[in-house]
Structure 1
Amino acid sequence: MPDTGGLPSSQTLARKLDLLMDTMVAEGGEPYSYLDIAEAMDRAGTPLSRARWQYMRAGTGPQPRDRGLLANLARFFQVDGSYLLEENCELPDRITSQLELLRTMRAAKVRSFASRQLADLSPDTLRRISEMIEAETGPSRP
């Protein structure tokens, strides 16, 4: 196996980039477009073609080796460079907290939907359904 210098595989990088893109949306922003990212990379001195971005996002291209580009992408997404430069780097705290928030929001959305759809059921049946949901997703948080 060739020496990759500890850089993430194409598939790992794609997962990490997806998390970063999703986090931006979770933080209340609009998703970044390719043009937003390409312009930032041009200003940082590491141009990024549309084809290369698509390969990186899909995880189908060759393993990324441009450390400068990966470091600039990390700066753009406001995470430590090691997140994109290392295969086995832990999730940044900001990403972890946003994922937890998304999980909680999705669970609350399910509870809200279920309560509207199941309004005609008996209180005992609703309580049992609620207990089953909490057993699967954990207790609701204020």
Structure 2
Amino acid sequence: MAAQSAAQRNLRESQILARKIDLLLDVVLTTEGKPYEFQDIQSALAENGIKLSRTRWHHMKAGDATVRQPTEVVIGLAEFFGINPDYLLTADGEIPDRIKSELELLAAMRRAKVREFATRTLSEVDSETLDAIAALLDDSTKY
């Protein structure tokens, strides 16, 4: 039973790491505003003496618990993305301020898009009702 519990914990941690990596890839962009590619990450880590194979990267992104990820690779990824390594190394690591800011910006942009769509679509609705809908949208789209 204890072995199964350890296996489940390992699976959970691997899946959390995968979600965190996906989040970083979604919100941390290149200077051109594009998502980082594997080759960008691999090259940057190699400059610091850290080897990241495409296979390891696939296992990390897939949350594969059968392949243990070396701490130095995880720390190298944190350094690449400019965040505290604890975020990636611990399952309950605090979301870095940089990521929080990006998420807040994305949420605000989504709220603005939804509000604009609702205003266009519901143009025949009176302004009091539109204000009530906008308030609901603001409350429901906060993360």
- Structure 2: distance between partners of 1:115 and 1:48: 48
CA-based RMSD: 2.7
The match for 1:122 among 126, 131, 140 is 126
Q: Which amino acid aligns with 2:13?
A: S
| Secondary structure in 2 matching 1:9 | helix
Moved over 2 A (4+): 60-65, 120-138
Q: Gapped runs of 5+ residues in structure 1? A: none
Say if 1:135 and 1:48 are closer, same or farther in 2 by CA, change over 3 A: closer
Using a 3 Å threshold, how does the CA distance of structure 1 residues 77 and 135 change in structure 2: closer, same or farther?
Answer: closer
Percent of matched pairs sharing the same residue: 42
- 2:82 counterpart SS class: coil
User: Which residue type is aligned with residue 85 of structure 1?
Assistant: L
Q: Which amino acid aligns with 2:140?
A: E
Name the CA distance, whole Å, in 2 between partners of 1:135 and 1:75.
35
Q: Hey, what's the Cα distance between the residues in 1 that align with 2:76 and 2:139? A: 42
TM-score for both structures, normalised by structure 1: 0.80
Write out per-residue CA displacement over residues 52-74 of structure 1, whole angstroms, 9 at most, x where no aligned residue.
11111111243533111111111
Which residue is equivalent to 2:83? 79
Per the alignment, residue 41 of structure 1 pairs with 45
Out of 83, 95, 98, the residue aligned to residue 99 of structure 2 is 95
Structure 2: give runs of 5+ residues left out of the alignment: none
**Alignment map for 1:1-142 (pairs within 5 Å):** 1=3, 9-25=13-29, 29-137=33-141
**Native 8 Å contact 1:12 1:59 kept in 2:** yes
User: In structure 2, do the counterparts of structure 1 residues 113 and 14 end up closer, same or farther at CA, with 3 Å as the change threshold?
Assistant: same
1:19 maps to a residue whose letter is L
Task: Say if 1:118 and 1:82 are closer, same or farther in 2 by CA, change over 3 A.
Answer: same
Q: Which has the higher contact order (CA 8 A, sep 6+)?
A: 1
Q: How many residues align?
A: 135
TM-score of the pair, normalised by structure 2: 0.79
